[in-house]
Amino acid sequence: MDQGPAITGKSIPRIDGPVKVRGQAKYAAEYDVADLLHAAIVSASIAKGRVISIDAAAAKNFPGVVAVLTHKNRPWFWPFSFLYKDLAGPPGKPFRPLYDDRVLFSGQPVALIVADNYEAARDAAALVSVSYEREQHATDLAVEVSKAYKPPRHRLGLAPTPHPTGDADRAFLASPVKVEASYTTAAENHHPMELFATTVEWSDKIVTVYDKTQSPKSVEIFLKVALRLFRRKVRVVSSFVGGAFGLGLRPQQSVILAVLAAKALKRSVRLVLPRDHMFALGYRANAIQTVSLGADENGRLLAIKHQAVAATSQSEDAQDPMLNFSASLYRCDNVKLTYQLAKLDTVSPCDMRAPGAATGMFALECAMDELAYAINIDPLALRLANYTERDQSENRPFSSKALRECYLQGAERFGWAKRSHAPRSMRKGKELIGWGMATGVWEAAMSPAPARVKVSLLADGRFEVTTSITDIGTGTYTILTQIAADALGAPRERVVVKLGDSALPFNPIQGGSWTAATSGSAVQAACDKLKKKILLRAKQTGIVGNGQATELLSPAALADLLKLSGSDNLSATATIINVKFGKKYASATHSAVFAEVRIDEELAVVRVTRLVCTVAAGRILNPATARSQIIGASVMGIGKALYEDAATDHNLGRCMAHNFADYHIPSNADVYDIEVLFVEETDDKVSPIGVKGLGEIGSVAVAPAIANAIFHATGQRMRDLPITIDRLTRLSD
Amino acid sequence: MRRFEYLRAASIDQAIERLSFDPGAKLLAGGTNLVDLMKYDVACPTTIIDINDLPLGDIKETSDGGLRIGALVTNSDLAFHPVIENRYPLLASAILAGASAQLRNAATVAGNLLQRTRCSYFYDVMTPCNKRTPGSGCPARNGLNRNHAILGASQDCVATHPSDMCVALAAIGTMIVVQGPNGARSISLADFHRLPGDTPEQDTTLRNNEIILGIELPPAPEFQRYSYLKIRDRLSYAFALVSAAALLTIDDGVISTAHVALGGVAHKPWRDTAAEVVLVGRPASRGNFHQFASMLLSRSEALSQNGFKIELARRTVVRALEQAASRTPQSQSDKRVH
Ligand SMILES: Cc1cc2nc3c(=O)[nH]c(=O)nc-3n(C[C@H](O)[C@H](O)[C@H](O)COP(=O)(O)OP(=O)(O)OC[C@H]3O[C@@H](n4cnc5c(N)ncnc54)[C@H](O)[C@@H]3O)c2cc1C
């Protein structure tokens, strides 16, 4: 009756689009709460040392100011740092704002002004003067690289850097063709559109926290344990999140400080961290890498050596899968990967879209391009010559791998065959033209922790789907609606999806590109269960003779059913546990990106005039939102290649690019044509619904494709990101 | 942000009077720079004198065939004014190379002239800066100075003037008309912005109690050879690393006048009339442009990170002159440099 054609796999417009454009979607800082206090931070100007004194007299006397919190008068904290661990943190001691007098990084909050209006809090914050005892800081990775170390403890949930296979050192030395080069990548900040913000609604029994996070559940647990709210009910709400890119994976300073203040004052408090504080919340670790590739004259890889030293903070060993894909992307018997960290006096680095991969693959894919030119074969042909159907690092097949189709369809679409191989061989007018390509890869995973979804039949015949996970702008509301509608055979108007609330069924963290696969599978399972229940109930109550599901699921039949069975509570819950397929298969999302750049030969003005991104990501639930994911990630890739640099003054130990005038992200003018193609890929193993996830993959291959295109255009290897004009100005000589 | 008093000036005299007895007072025009600086606690005026009701919004032709432009004319209105488009296209082009449409709708002529440097130390009160806090030091000199001055800098300050509009005004040759308690005076643009020396806190020669009434442009012919070429770290919405404004008149292939100003390289729009003379009477050739550009930059000095700007500026000048000579001015919407 109701059942229309399936909508999963169709370009359904975003379910949350209308509320967003009408301004009805509420973000963390937009909740109206009675008697709300407003907080503002005072942050450290030095990178390392101690706070000697804080003169807050003027701030305290400022009209409207209610309190000034510092490490001296904050509520009691656990002295054990392990109690501040969260679901996504690396090994080490998590940063605890206002814990003691130590300054660990420039920008660290050292005082919190709480006032009865926002302006008073902000203005009073400017009146606080802090004196410090300075210590010698270290913020320059190029210097600290000499003290690089292997992280002693491994980050939970992160696949370890693959063990060496064969003898890469020897094989490299013996290789007829060798390339070896070093690459550096700048620290980047996440800069989601929405600022980090928290509104705490305080009461004796229940504390409701409206927070910008990628994990309401993780924040709830953290607040209960670390901030000792275990006697109260804590509810964390993040119905809408204006982007996060990984910076919301861990409980942020905003929620910790706002809840601290609320607890101290027993009042409702809001804290919005300003844009210029973004650099003090986390960053994509800058890194120095060396790649050595050995090959035979036909381009067959004989050795891969990939070394990386990534930045971390003094107190945590932040780790990401920087080298994990270097062992599995190509066929090669001798691989050696060395992943090290170097400590800096900064806030801890934090996962940022395609963490690790975007950095590691930049180096590997540029080195592959260098190899192609060392052998004098086409860069795409080199990839195909080293194509592997097995993940050699673990010696297992892939659950599916349509990377070859990505290469071929992308090349076709881009017109790669018309490329002339020699650098500087294509030009138009005063511009050099360069075509470059690169491969992208990201693990296709399910959430490492179990995820629960509940589906209930409402009295009006609609279905409510609930789970605690957020939609950080990726389209989660929409795809879950599509899956539920199809599973229940109901039109999408009769499906209501509720997300982003820790009071809803447990669903750990939105990250790692696993949300669609995990939550989608859980929705599918819960809906299947509910359908069975409805059929059973129908039989029991005897309302429908033939027991046809389609008839039963019409609103009228369902209303009858609820009436007759004397219950308005018909629901089903499903939990997806990531048993997957153990170690039998490797699973990965792949992409091939083809880039065209045009560069003014004299002035080094670079335009990325064309990007073709081909992606193999299993089943595509919604081509429209999927395409948006890849386009957004590609724009980020352009930023990584050409602009983004959280530049630090090492004399001051301070990031100076802490605003959008100095931290450049691509503007509209910087983004020309981006074409996205999804290739067919059927995978019945990766997740119950055949989905691989799309959040990260789009960010991986864009920067190396652009760097390789710049080489092709200019004949210059640009091994340091971002590729700015000053690095490019030696063009015509 | 610090608390301040707000006054909406009813007359020019009232604004001047208030400026005279209240040294902490600041005029507010479009507010796109001042309010920004207030939010960062870089500017902490005690009083804001809003001048938006004052009659300074006209564009009028002067008796000598020039143009008088009121201080409050917005950057957008100016760029799209028919007389500007026809006779001062260099100015229109430079304005459109800057900021964004929204900002240009709010920004005014006087505010643009007086916008402050974009040096990131100047903007960050947690760091020293001689321009913001005289005597506190200049971290840019040995720090992040990729965007900083290559000409006319001092030990105390290596900041640049960020305006695009002013670079065109410098090339055109502009008078700034100001009024103080003792009446009005005119300052040539060349004398309006200063070099930093040991008083980098002073950007201009405007006195504290003076208000800008407007600017005067000299008469200009139609169909000029001009180009404004801005090179920046991304294709739009960034301040210039270097920019060049070029105005040429060429008769029978021979240059009769050449006006060239550089932006992004110094504490003021940079122009060297002595160097320009060299071009006069010579053919409009690439070689001559090169020679001129080298002269223009002969006194440039590099800091640790901005050496690239010297060569970039040279090439930018040459290209802008080529574009002007061939009547193919740089488009501000098509980002390809031609
Ligand atoms: C994001 C951003 C990007 C930008 N990009 C560019 C760019 O690429 N290129 C560029 O050139 N500019 C750029 N700008 C700067 C912009 O051009 C200036 O902010 C604008 O021109 C200032 O004009 P306003 O009227 O808003 O000045 P206001 O902010 O109102 O005033 C600026 C100063 O001028 C003083 N003042 C104003 N009127 C008078 C008067 N009549 N007499 C005396 N003093 C007066 C004020 O007291 C104040 O000190 C950018 C600005 C922003 C915010």
CB distance from B338 to chain A under 8 Å?
A: yes
The CA-atom distances, in angstroms, between A24 and each of A209, A465, B93, B155 are 19, 21, 40, 54
Contact assignment for B237 to A669 by CB distance below 8 Å: yes
State if residue B31 touches ligand 1 by the CB under 6 angstroms criterion: yes
Label residues A140-174 b or e (16+ Cβ within 10 Å = b). bbeebbeebeebeeebeebeebbebbbebeebbee
For residue B238, give the chain A residue with the closest CA: A661
Query: How far is it, in rounded angstroms, from Cα A310 to Cα A187?
Result: 10
Q: What pLDDT score does A546 carry? A: 53
Residue A293: which of A166, A175, A170, A179 has the closest Cα?
A179
Q: What is the mean pLDDT of residues B265-282?
A: 97
How would residue A497 be classed by pLDDT, with cut points 50, 70 and 90?
A: very high
| A136-160 pLDDT tens trace | 999 999 999 999 999 999 998 888 9
Give the range among A366-380, A462-476, A575-589 with minimum mean pLDDT: A575-589
Residue A457 pLDDT > 60: yes
| B86-114 pLDDT tens trace | 999 999 999 999 999 999 999 999 999 99
Q: What is the mean pLDDT of residues A224-231?
A: 91
| B138-148 pLDDT tens trace | 999 999 999 99
Rounded to 10°, the helix B308-325/B286-296 angle is: 140
Residue A259, both tokens: 């809840």
| B118-172 pLDDT tens trace | 999 999 999 999 999 999 999 999 999 999 999 999 999 999 999 999 999 999 9
Residue B70 pLDDT > 80: yes
| A167-183 pLDDT tens trace | 999 999 999 999 999 99
| Nearest atom in ligand 1 to B74's CA | 25
CB half-sphere exposure, B36, CA atoms < 13 A: 19
**Mean pLDDT over all residues of chain A?**
94
Q: What pLDDT score does A459 carry? A: 86
For residue B337, give the chain A residue with the closest CA: A600
Q: What is the mean pLDDT of residues A673-688?
A: 95
Contact assignment for A670 to B234 by CB distance below 8 Å: yes
- For chain A, percent of residues with pLDDT exceeding 90: 86
How would residue A23 be classed by pLDDT, with cut points 50, 70 and 90?
A: very high
CB half-sphere exposure, A177, CA atoms < 13 A: 17
- The residues spanned by each domain of chain A are 17-24+447-576, 36-135+193-244+248-281, 145-188+284-445+584-727
Say which residue the tokens 């590609």 belong to. A634
Q: How far is CA A527 from the centre of its chain?
A: 28
Q: What pLDDT score does A733 carry? A: 44
Say which residue the tokens 């709708």 belong to. B105
Interface probe for B, chosen from A654, A663, A706, A731 (most Cβ of B below 10 Å), is A654
How would residue A662 be classed by pLDDT, with cut points 50, 70 and 90?
A: very high
Q: Give the DSSP H/E element, type plus range, for residue B251.
A: strand B240-251
Q: What pLDDT score does B9 carry? A: 98
DSSP state of A327: T
Q: What is the mean pLDDT of residues A557-586?
A: 78
| A696 belongs to the catalytic site | yes
Q: Taking the alpha carbons of A508, A514, A519, A522 in that order, is the dihedral positive or negative?
A: negative
Q: What is the mean pLDDT of residues B62-71?
A: 96
Contacts of A728 (CB under 8 A, 6+ apart): A599, A604, A606, A710, A714, A716, A718
What's the CATH architecture for B225-325?
Answer: 2-Layer Sandwich (3.30)
Mutation test of ligand 1: which of B50, B91, B103 has the most ligand atoms closer than 8 Å to its C-beta?
B103
Question: Which residues of chain A neighbour B237 with C-beta distances below 8 Å?
Answer: 667, 669
How would residue A1 be classed by pLDDT, with cut points 50, 70 and 90?
A: very low
Query: How far is it, in rounded angstroms, from Cα B120 to Cα B117?
Result: 9
What's the CATH architecture for A17-24+447-576?
Answer: 2-Layer Sandwich (3.30)
The CA-CA-CA angle for residues B13, B16, B22, to 5°, reads 135
Q: Closest Cα to atom 51, ligand 1: which residue?
A: B99
Residue B198, both tokens: 């040991």
How would residue B297 be classed by pLDDT, with cut points 50, 70 and 90?
A: very high
How would residue A387 be classed by pLDDT, with cut points 50, 70 and 90?
A: very high
Contact assignment for A643 to B234 by CB distance below 8 Å: yes
Residue A5 pLDDT > 90: no
Q: Are A451 and A218 a contacting pair, CB within 8 Å? A: no
DSSP string, A559-623: HHHHHHTT-S-EEEEEEE-TTTTTTS-B-EEEEEEEEEEEEETTT--EEEEEEEEEEE-BS-S-H
Q: Are A444 and A400 a contacting pair, CB within 8 Å? A: no
Residue A211: which of A28, A47, A335, A62 has the closest Cα?
A28
Straight-line distance from the first to the last Cα atom of chain B, in angstroms, rounded to the nearest whole number: 44
Q: What pLDDT score does A567 carry? A: 64
- Helical H runs in B89-234? 89-96, 101-106, 109-113, 165-172, 189-192
Query: How far is it, in rounded angstroms, from Cα A521 to Cα A381?
Result: 38
Q: Is the fold of A36-135+193-244+248-281 the same as that of A145-188+284-445+584-727?
A: no
Nearest CA-CA distance, residue A185 and chain B, Å: 17
Q: What pLDDT score does A2 carry? A: 43
State if residue B168 touches ligand 1 by the CB under 6 angstroms criterion: no
The CATH homologous superfamily to which domain A36-135+193-244+248-281 belongs is Aldehyde oxidase/xanthine dehydrogenase, a/b hammerhead (3.90.1170.50)
The CATH class of B1-52 is: alpha beta
Give strand ranges (E) for A374-462: 390-391, 396-397, 427-428, 431-443, 451-457
Q: What pLDDT score does B1 carry? A: 82
Q: What is the ipTM score, two decimals? A: 0.97
Q: What pLDDT score does A81 carry? A: 87
Model confidence, pTM:
0.97
Amino acid at B52: N
- The residues spanned by each domain of chain B are 1-52, 225-325
State if residue B28 touches ligand 1 by the CB under 6 angstroms criterion: yes
DSSP state of A653: T
Q: What is the mean pLDDT of residues A28-43?
A: 97
For residue B334, give the chain A residue with the closest CA: A669
Output A609 or A686, whichever has higher pLDDT.
A609
Q: What is the mean pLDDT of residues A175-197?
A: 98
State if residue B246 touches ligand 1 by the CB under 6 angstroms criterion: no
What's the CATH architecture for A145-188+284-445+584-727?
Answer: 2-Layer Sandwich (3.30)
**Mean pLDDT over all residues of chain B?**
97
Q: B204 pairs with which residues across the strands?
A: B193
Q: Are A369 and A711 a contacting pair, CB within 8 Å? A: yes
Label residues A573-602 b or e (16+ Cβ within 10 Å = b). bbebebebeeeebbbbbbbbbbbbbbbbbb
Given B121, B144, B337, which is nearest A603 (Cβ)? B337
CB distance from B4 to chain A under 8 Å?
A: no
Q: What pLDDT score does A461 carry? A: 86
